[in-house]
Amino acid sequence: MAIAVEFIQPTTWEEALAARSALPGSVPIAGGTDVMVDLNFDRSRPDALLDLTRVDDLREWAEEDAILRIGAGVSYTRLIGELGERLPGLAMAARTIGSPQIRNRGTVGGNLGAASPAGDSHPPLLAVHAEVELASVRGLRRVPVREFYAGPKENVVAGDELIAAILVAPAAGAEQFSKIGTRNAMVIAACSFALSIDPVARRVGTGIGSAGPTPLAAREAEAFLEGVLDERDGWEAPVALGEPAVNRFAELVAAAARPIDDVRSSAAYRREALRVLARRTLGWARGAV
């Protein structure tokens, strides 16, 4: 039986926000690489689809006052090509997403909208303390990404809001990302980890993917590594951190995870893999640890 789905195609941001406000039950669609899978498998039957692909504003990015504002509709391919040097951690994660076809269509805005704990852009966004700009006819608000995830596949976007952009500072230091899955490409992460070491702000950032109900930051591990780098005067200089400190960092990362057993991995494997990923990314970030 054919079911009618209203298809709304705004061409301006104002029209998109007005349509979202008028039809809060509508499902926004950007690249469609999550939405179309759900429709095809009959997991979702929205009354209305709100197509955002004709809204040019969403595909723009700009740098202002040392902050990059990246429109929610910028594809992974463009992010890698145009912003890869300024956002190496996010670009590393983007390179692991799907296939070239998926990276041509898929967007960080869509990854945030879907809010899957396994989404690959979340760990690097957590590691660099990105902000998400949400908009509605009521106005704008900026939510730290660390407060964005509300539960498995849930976020804090209200029914009348759209994700407008991601705000993030260009990297001031090393950023790394590593993901484990059952093969090297076209794979949903069994777990993933992102690390940022910012010698200017003297801040360590982390992000854990696919090992908890939401993407997570390993806050104790961050504070521990900041303490070690302060104590050893190691923010700028390549001082050795030593095995005990590296092991402790890796243990604290693994301890921050809240993994479950599922089809992709056991909880125990995820925890052990995170220990490895934490050591690996720290080694890459520091040259030698």
Ligand X SMILES: Cc1cc2nc3c(=O)[nH]c(=O)nc-3n(C[C@H](O)[C@H](O)[C@H](O)COP(=O)(O)OP(=O)(O)OC[C@H]3O[C@@H](n4cnc5c(N)ncnc54)[C@H](O)[C@@H]3O)c2cc1C
Binding footprint of ligand X on the chain (CB under 6 A): 27-35, 37, 52, 72, 96-98, 102, 105-107, 109-111, 113-114, 119-120, 157, 162-163, 186
Could you tell me how many residues make up the chain?
289
Q: Which is nearer to ligand X, 165 or 274 (CB)?
A: 165
Q: Which is nearer to ligand X, 55 or 228 (CB)?
A: 55
Name which of 286, 173, 172 is nearest 240 in CA terms. 286
Q: Which is nearer to ligand X, 51 or 175 (CB)?
A: 51
Torsion sign, CA atoms 222, 224, 228, 230: positive
CA distance 120 to 118: 6
**Orientation of helix 88-95 relative to helix 76-83, angle to 10°:** 140
Q: Which is nearer to ligand X, 80 or 162 (CB)?
A: 162
Q: How far is CA 169 from CA 129, 153, 248, in A?
A: 9, 26, 28
Minimum distance from CB of 85 to ligand X (Å)? 21
Minimum distance from CB of 197 to ligand X (Å)? 24
Q: Which is nearer to ligand X, 16 or 204 (CB)?
A: 16
CA distance 203 to 172: 10
Minimum distance from CB of 38 to ligand X (Å)? 8
Minimum distance from CB of 226 to ligand X (Å)? 28
CA distance 259 to 143: 25
CA distance 18 to 183: 43
Q: Which is nearer to ligand X, 75 or 228 (CB)?
A: 75
- 179: which strand partners? 192
Q: How far is CA 50 from CA 106, 159, 164, 206, in A?
A: 16, 13, 14, 34
Name which of 48, 62, 46 is nearest 10 in CA terms. 48
Minimum distance from CB of 190 to ligand X (Å)? 12
Q: How far is CA 22 from CA 57, 158, 285, in A?
A: 20, 13, 48
Minimum distance from CB of 89 to ligand X (Å)? 14
Minimum distance from CB of 150 to ligand X (Å)? 14
Q: Which is nearer to ligand X, 51 or 198 (CB)?
A: 51
